[in-house]
Amino acid sequence: MLTALSFVDALAANYPCSGSKGGVSHCSGALHVCNDGSISGSKKICSMSGGPAVLPFAGLQRPTSSDPCSCRSDRICTGPRGGKYCTSDSGAKSYVQR
């Protein structure tokens, strides 16, 4: 039984937005936008630009935010030191990997 749970955990870890991020909500260009409103740190390219991703745990897109840097609204901002980020639903910055 323990081996089966370990296998399921390992399988889930191979998908963008796995774990507490709740799965993929939609794509923003090549980036995966997660159900918690953040962007995934995955280096995998999101294959359906602007639409829902075909991945396990896919959720529904929430309404867009008025936040000028909202991940959910596909708005990427540049920080004072050149880092690219957007803000998740909780207000936390979610950085785009270089």
pLDDT at 13 over 60: no
* pLDDT value at residue 61: 45
Question: Using CA atoms, how far apart are residues 79 and 71, in angstroms rounded to an integer?
Answer: 14
pLDDT exceeds 70 at position 8: no
pLDDT tens digits for 37-90?
999 998 899 986 444 444 444 444 454 568 899 998 888 999 999 999 999 999
Within a 10 A sphere around the Cβ of 40, how many other Cβ atoms? 21
What is the CA 23 to chain-centroid distance, rounded? Answer: 8
| Distance from the Cα of residue 49 to its chain's centroid | 13
pLDDT at 37: 92
Supply the pLDDT for residue 56: 43
Report pLDDT for 74: 86
This model's pTM is above 0.95: no
